[in-house]
């Protein structure tokens, strides 16, 4: 899942810049983890220790209140309620990558992705977005070729993955919905030839850069099997030690491909 976290850090400084190019500094002095990373680590923690998703998400959000959580999620995290709020935002998909690495059958992955999503994002689109990213990661781990991954996602989730990034990029805008960012993140992966290329292409769309990088980065790690060492070192240097500890524990147990 470190590929997802790296994508978040790389995209963090470009989120409001409407970037429309793959030529940018991969890290800057201001590159930092956001809520995407915090909740990705929270999912990993739940898997490692069999924790409850809702209460764990609340705990992580309260511990890292300045990570950039969305308004609805922040209100939910601070409230006494554990009820979901029917969101179809891409928060469910940005945090799901550990599930694609930890579970080994599609039935398990889809069920667990739904569980992780519906504690907040119980709208059908919110659940679908999380399941699509997690499924793509599992298929990539299984060394399915890109055409098979594309076919599975289109058939099972109804996303149109036939557009080219060059056609999407000119009119694409900041879109935090699952239906407006998950297909684009998957297309960025499908057009890529390396981990770094995938993340650069996702961020180049000029949208929700950290989340696009996070979603694409998780799939790209699973498919290309390696995240460049210099990127991993930058991530480790910039992560809070407690978050890094969970990442390393999860990686040692599950990222064995």
Among the listed residues 196, 169, 195, the one whose alpha carbon sits nearest the alpha carbon of residue 27: 196
pLDDT in tens, 197-226: 999 999 999 989 999 999 999 999 999 999
186 within domain boundaries: yes
The b-or-e profile of 69-87 (16+ CB within 10 A means b, else e) is beeebeebbeeeeeebbeb
Is residue 111 classed as helix, strand or coil in its secondary structure?
Answer: helix
Q: CA nearest 202: which of 6, 194, 215?
A: 215
Q: How far apart are CA 131 and CA 99, in angstroms?
A: 9
Residue-wise burial string across 40-60, b where 16 or more C-beta atoms lie within 10 A, e elsewhere: bbbbbbbbeeeeebbebbbeb
pLDDT tens readout for residues 13-41: 998 778 899 999 999 999 999 999 999 99
pLDDT tens per residue across span 156-192:
999 999 999 999 999 999 889 999 999 999 999 999 9
Distance between CA atoms of residues 201 and 22, nearest Å: 6
Residue 89 pairs with which residues in a beta bridge? 177
For residue 129, being part of any structural domain is answered with: yes
Q: Is 27 inside a domain boundary?
A: no
Domain containing 75 equals 2-22+32-254
CATH label of the domain that carries residue 199: 1.10.4080.10
Residue 6 lies in a domain: yes
Which candidate, 179, 177, 144, 176, places its Cα nearest to that of 161? 179
Within a domain: 113? yes
Name which of 238, 200, 205, 4 is nearest 101 in CA terms: 4
Give me the number of domains the chain comprises.
1
Residue keyed to tokens 């601070």: 78
pTM for the model stands at 0.97
Residue 188 near residue 205, CB atoms below 8 Å: yes
């Amino acid at each position: 899942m470190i590929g997802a976290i790296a994508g978040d850090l790389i995209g963090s400084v470009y989120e409001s810049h409407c970037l429309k190019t793959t030529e940018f500094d991969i890290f800057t002095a201001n590159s930092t983890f956001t809520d995407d990373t915090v909740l990705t680590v929270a999912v990993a923690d739940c898997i490692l220790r069999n924790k409850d998703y809702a209460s764990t998400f609340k705990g992580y959000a309260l511990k890292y209140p300045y990570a950039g959580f969305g308004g609805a999620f922040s209100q939910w995290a601070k409230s006494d309620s554990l009820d979901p709020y029917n969101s179809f935002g891409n928060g469910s998909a940005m945090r799901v990558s550990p599930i694609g690495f930890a579970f080994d059958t599609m039935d398990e992955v889809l069920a667990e992705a739904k569980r992780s999503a519906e504690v907040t994002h119980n709208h059908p689109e919110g659940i679908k977005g999380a399941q699509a990213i997690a499924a793509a990661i599992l298929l990539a781990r299984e060394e399915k070729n890109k055409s098979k991954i594309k076919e599975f996602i289109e058939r099972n989730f109804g996303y149109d993955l036939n557009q080219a990034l060059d056609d999407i990029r000119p009119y694409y805008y900041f879109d935090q919905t699952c239906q407006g960012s998950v297909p684009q993140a998957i297309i960025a992966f499908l057009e890529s030839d390396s981990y770094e290329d995938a993340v650069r292409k996702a961020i180049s769309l000029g949208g929700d850069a950290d989340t696009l990088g996070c979603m694409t980065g998780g799939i790209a790690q699973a498919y290309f099997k390696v995240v460049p060492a210099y990127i991993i070192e930058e991530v480790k240097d910039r992560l809070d030690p407690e978050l890094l500890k969970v990442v390393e524990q999860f990686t040692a147990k599950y990222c064995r491909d």
